């Protein structure tokens, strides 16, 4: 007698927890554009543990298949200032890690899930089908590839890339052959899933660092001090830029020139001084010290020359200090004024959420959090948005383990409506505890040592071979970017009103960063309506 009790096709928005029953209803299929990736899931329910042969027939090529694995979370959500839009919020095991499927399905008692990803670029436009047979039970899904392309416009997406975390996890040295190999592997995956801008450690980034302590050195610019004069070598930076370009990355976000949360100190900067390699700036250096300002001035002359010779001026983002609060406005202003004077004509950006920084012209390109963005909307040109661990209230989008997937994906519709030009998140692969006090194993610790909600600090997992394993959240956030790009395509074929009428159902919903229907069906059906409108326009 078969141990399989049910099989079912699920959308990519479903999350199946250990205690779940099989969802009711049938997910019959979807459409996608030619240069799009789309995913669906196959859920198999069994009465006991068993090994299952998976058989399927398909007209599609190159489907990627993964098993959906559960990862432990001791801190799934913040304990304070949190809303109620979470289906599960207690410590436990959450579906997140996607492991490449190796041919045999090792089903546990209950529901085991396989994740399928289709690449439209590898297949012909038209109708396709995938039919599954599992132990005599059959189910199928219909897919239509529409002969049109997503338009990402000039949208910029960065998720902070931490090479020191790769070094610490794998045990290689900075700038060794293995450093460059593994960094390229992780960056290729980042680019494949939308990230076209990379945090570039011209100096070791002064981010998530305990005061008085330091993170491993990953400084790309070599500094020499001789007779009190500075000189700079950009060979490592050139290798970094060439590697990033080979991965498809276009934009370079230079590491912050001052410490996080207020610009009070200089970052760690190493140099060869009269033949001795040592630290010349750091926590003991006041941000507005004459010596550090002189260093920044000398650097700016050579760095601008270097960037402009390579036609990178328009592709570079400059940072002052991350997430300054109003209490440090004065210190931030001094630092910001100096950087603006040195890098006139460059795009200078910072993540901050107090509108007074922009109102007083202290920052030229603010990046507010999605729960503080309202004051910035309509007042800032080329506005970006970000979120981190603090954005856990007001139903705003985020990517925590415990978020329903619609709460991760909805931001695509939101960014389209408000013409957002870029998105920032801080943790592509942060495999340290809070303030970088120690290492973690991301397969066992998902919350930076009970510091940040699980899912905040990384979106890929380090495989043994130096490549990244994907997460469910990586795919779902990319779906958000693709939703935005599909709306861009329709806007070009029609106009923005047509697009807004579809996503707001002609005024039935007023879509904001805090308000949207909490319904998988609504989001999926809306995207199908967008695709149908595109198809109609290109006939």
Q: Is the pLDDT of residue 1 over 70?
A: no
User: Residue 249 and residue 315: Cα distance in Å, rounded?
Assistant: 10
pLDDT band at 81 (very low <50, low <70, confident <90, very high): confident
Tokens read off for 184: 């390229």
**Angle formed by the axes of helices 235-246 and 177-192, nearest 10°:** 40
The SS3 call for residue 201 is coil
**pLDDT tens digit string along 225-249?**
998 999 999 999 999 999 999 999 9
**pLDDT tens digit string along 435-463?**
999 999 999 999 999 999 999 999 999 99
User: Residue 482 and residue 413: Cα distance in Å, rounded?
Assistant: 10
How far from 256 is each of 225, 301, 453, 533, CA to CA, in Å?
Answer: 22, 17, 25, 43
User: Residue 217 and residue 259: Cα distance in Å, rounded?
Assistant: 15
**Fold designation for 157-209+237-258+290-471:** TIM Barrel (3.20.20)
Average pLDDT on 470-487 reads 98
At residue 145's C-alpha, the angle toward residues 25 and 417, to 5°, is 80
**232-241: which pairs have CB atoms within 8 A and are 24 or more residues apart?**
232/299, 232/302, 232/303, 234/302, 234/303, 234/306, 236/175, 237/200, 237/202, 237/306, 239/180, 240/200, 241/200, 241/310, 241/312
Q: DSSP character for 136? A: T
**pLDDT tens digit string along 159-213?**
999 999 999 999 999 999 999 999 999 999 999 999 999 999 999 999 999 999 9
User: Residue 511 and residue 232: Cα distance in Å, rounded?
Assistant: 50
Percent of the chain topping pLDDT 70: 100
Give the pLDDT of residue 285: 97
Q: Is the pLDDT of residue 340 over 80?
A: yes
- pTM > 0.75: yes
3-class SS string, 222-275: EEEEECCEEEEECHHHHHHHHHHHHCCCCEEEECCCCCCCCCCECCCEEEEECC
User: Residue 9 and residue 116: Cα distance in Å, rounded?
Assistant: 10
Give the pLDDT of residue 187: 98
User: Residue 156 and residue 152: Cα distance in Å, rounded?
Assistant: 9
Q: Is the pLDDT of residue 22 over 50?
A: yes
Q: Which residues pair with 106 in a beta bridge?
A: 51
Q: Residue 268 in contact with residue 214, Cβ under 8 Å?
A: yes
Average pLDDT on 64-69 reads 97
Q: Which residues pair with 1 in a beta bridge?
A: none
Give the pLDDT of residue 79: 84
Q: Residue 42 in contact with residue 122, Cβ under 8 Å?
A: no
**pLDDT tens digit string along 122-161?**
999 999 999 998 888 899 999 999 999 999 999 999 999 9
Burial of 412-423, coded b for 16+ CB within 10 Å and e otherwise, reads bbbbbbbebbbb
At residue 317's C-alpha, the angle toward residues 313 and 322, to 5°, is 160
Give the pLDDT of residue 366: 97
Half-sphere exposure of 524 (CA within 13 A, CB side): 18
Q: Going by DSSP bridges, is the β-strand pair 104-107/55-58 parallel, antiparallel, or unpaired?
A: unpaired
Which runs of consecutive H residues, i.e. helices, occur in 343-455?
355-359, 405-409, 411-417
Give the pLDDT of residue 380: 96
Q: Which residues pair with 145 in a beta bridge?
A: 32, 126
Q: Is the dihedral of CA 92, 112, 191, 476 positive or negative?
A: negative
């Amino acid at each position: 007698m078969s141990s399989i009790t049910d099989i079912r096709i699920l959308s990519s928005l479903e999350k199946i927890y250990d205690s779940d029953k099989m969802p009711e209803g049938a997910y019959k299929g979807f459409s996608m554009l030619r240069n799009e990736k789309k995913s669906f899931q196959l859920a198999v329910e069994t009465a006991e543990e068993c090994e299952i042969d998976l058989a399927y027939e398909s007209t599609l090529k190159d489907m990627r298949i993964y098993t959906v694995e559960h990862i432990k979370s001791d801190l799934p959500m913040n304990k304070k200032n949190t809303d109620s839009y979470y289906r599960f919020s207690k410590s436990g095991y959450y579906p997140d890690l996607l492991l490449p499927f190796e041919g045999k399905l090792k089903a546990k008692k209950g529901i085991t899930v396989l994740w399928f990803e289709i690449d439209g670029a590898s297949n012909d436009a038209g109708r396709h089908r995938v039919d599954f047979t599992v132990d005599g039970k059959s189910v199928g899904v219909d897919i239509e590839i529409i002969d049109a392309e997503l338009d990402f416009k000039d949208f910029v997406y960065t998720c902070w890339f931490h090479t020191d975390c790769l070094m610490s996890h794998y045990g290689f040295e900075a700038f060794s052959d293995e450093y460059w190999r593994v960094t390229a592997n992780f960056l290729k995956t980042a680019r494949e899933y939308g990230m076209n801008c990379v945090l570039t450690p011209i100096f070791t980034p002064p981010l998530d660092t305990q005061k008085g302590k330091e993170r491993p050195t990953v400084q790309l610019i070599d500094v020499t001090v001789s007779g009190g004069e500075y000189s700079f070598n950009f060979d490592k930076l050139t290798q970094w830029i060439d590697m990033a370009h080979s991965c498809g990355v276009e934009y370079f976000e230079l590491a912050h020139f001052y410490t996080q949360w207020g610009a009070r100190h200089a970052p760690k900067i190493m140099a060869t001084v009269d033949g001795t390699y040592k630290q010349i700036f750091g926590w003991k250096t006041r941000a507005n010290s004459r010596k550090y300002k002189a260093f920044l001035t000398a650097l700016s002359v050579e760095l601008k020359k270097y960037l402009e010779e390579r036609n990178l001026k328009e592709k570079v983002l400059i940072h002052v200090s991350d997430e300054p609060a109003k209490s440090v406005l004065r210190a931030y202003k001094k630092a910001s004024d100096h950087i603006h004077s040195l890098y006139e004509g460059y795009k200078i950006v910072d993540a901050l959420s107090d509108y007074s920084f922009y109102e007083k012209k202290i920052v030229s390109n603010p990046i507010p959090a999605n729960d503080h963005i309202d004051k910035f909307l309509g007042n800032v040109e080329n506005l970006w948005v970000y979120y981190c661990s603090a954005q856990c209230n007001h139903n705003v989008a985020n990517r925590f383990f415990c978020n329903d997937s619609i709460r991760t994906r909805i931001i695509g519709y939101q960014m389209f409506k408000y013409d957002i030009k870029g998105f920032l998140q801080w943790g592509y692969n942060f495999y340290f505890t809070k303030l970088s006090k120690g290492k973690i194993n991301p397969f066992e610790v998902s919350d930076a040592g009970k510091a940040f909600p699980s899912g905040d600090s990384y979106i890929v997992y380090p495989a043994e071979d130096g490549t990244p394993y994907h997460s469910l959240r990586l795919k779902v956030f990319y779906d958000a970017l693709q939703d935005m790009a599909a709306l861009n395509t329709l806007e070009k074929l029609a106009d923005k009103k047509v697009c807004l009428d579809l996503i707001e159902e002609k005024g039935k919903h007023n879509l904001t960063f805090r308000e949207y229907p909490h319904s998988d069906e609504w989001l999926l059906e809306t995207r199908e309506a967008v695709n149908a409108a595109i198809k109609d326009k290109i006939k």
